[in-house]
Amino acid sequence: MSKSLDALWEKVRAQKTLIPSLYGDIDFDATPERFTDDINVRSALPSRFSDKFRPDILANREKVERARAYTLLGDVVADAYAALMPEYGFRNLITMLKKACDEGLDAVENPPKELVDFIQAMEDTPEWVDMALVREGARLSRNQMANLAPYVIRGAFVATFMNKYSGLPMAITGTLANESVNQRINETSSFFTTATLPGALERFGPGFKAAAMVRLMHSMVRFNILKRCTPDKGGPWDPAVYGIPIPQVDQMPAGTMPAYLTAFKARRKGRTEFTRQERAIVELSRYECFLLGLPEELLPARAQDIIDTMLTYSGTLREGYDHETCGELTRATMSVYRPKTKSVFNKLHNAVERSYSKVFFTEAFLGRKDKSKAKEMGVEPHLLDYALFSAGNLFILPRLTAFRILQDIPVVNRMADKVLVKRIKELLVEYGHAEYTSDANQYNPTTRESAA
Per-residue pLDDT of the chain in tens (452 residues, 90 and over written 9): 567 999 999 999 999 999 999 999 999 999 999 999 999 999 988 877 888 899 999 999 999 999 999 999 999 999 999 999 999 999 999 999 999 999 999 999 999 999 999 999 999 999 999 999 999 999 999 999 999 999 998 888 887 778 888 888 887 876 555 567 788 888 888 989 999 999 999 999 999 999 999 999 999 999 999 998 999 888 899 999 999 999 989 989 888 989 999 999 999 999 999 999 999 999 999 999 999 999 999 999 999 999 999 999 999 999 988 877 788 888 888 888 888 889 999 999 999 999 999 999 888 777 665 667 777 777 889 999 999 999 999 999 999 999 999 999 999 999 999 999 999 999 999 888 766 555 555 555 554 433 32
Return all residues near 234 (Cβ < 8 A) that are at least 6 apart.
445, 446
Under 8 Å between Cβ of 263 and 304? yes
Closest C-alpha among 191, 248, 202, 225 to residue 424: 191
Side-chain-facing half-sphere of 449: CA atoms under 13 Å: 4
Count Cβ atoms below 10 Å from residue 50 Cβ, excluding itself: 19
Side-chain-facing half-sphere of 21: CA atoms under 13 Å: 13
What is the pLDDT at residue 14? 96
Count Cβ atoms below 10 Å from residue 166 Cβ, excluding itself: 25
Round to whole Å and give the CA distance between 266 and 429: 35
Q: Note the pTM of the prediction, 2 decimals.
A: 0.89
Query: CA angle, 71 as apex, 66 and 77 as ends, to 5°?
Result: 100
Q: What is the dihedral of CA 91, 97, 98, 104, to 10 degrees?
A: 150
What is the pLDDT at residue 449? 37
Round to whole Å and give the CA distance between 289 and 295: 8
What is the pLDDT at residue 178? 59
Q: Taking the CA atoms of the chain, what radius of gyration do you get in angstroms?
A: 21
Residue 11, judged by CB atoms within 10 A of its CB (0-12, 13-18, 19+), counts as middle
Under 8 Å between Cβ of 317 and 44? yes
Amino acid occupying residue 367: G
Domains of the chain, by residue range, sit at: 52-82+125-432
SS3 annotation, the chain: CCCCHHHHHHHHHHHHHHCHHHHCCCCCCCCCCCECCCCCCCECCCHHHHHHHHHHHHHCHHHHHHHHHHCCCCCHHHHHHHCCHHHHCHHHHHHHHHHHHHHCHHHCCCCCHHHHHHHHHHHCCCCCCCHHHHHHHHHHHHHHHHHCHHHHHHHHHHHHHCCHHHHHHHHHCCCCCHHHHHHHHHHHHHHHHHCCCCCCCCCCCHHHHHHHHHHHHHHHHHHHHHHHCCHHHCCCCCHHHHCCCCCHHHHHHHHHHHHHHHHHHHHHCCCCCCCHHHHHHHHHHHHHHHHCCCCHHHCCCCHHHHHHHHHHHHHHEECCCCHHHHHHHHHHHHHCCCCCCCCHHHHHHHHHHHHHHHHHHHHHHHCCCCHHHHHHHCCCCCHHHHHHHHHHHHHHHHHHHHHHHHCCCCCHHHHHHHHHHHHHHHHHHHHCCCCCCCCHHHCCCCCCCCCC
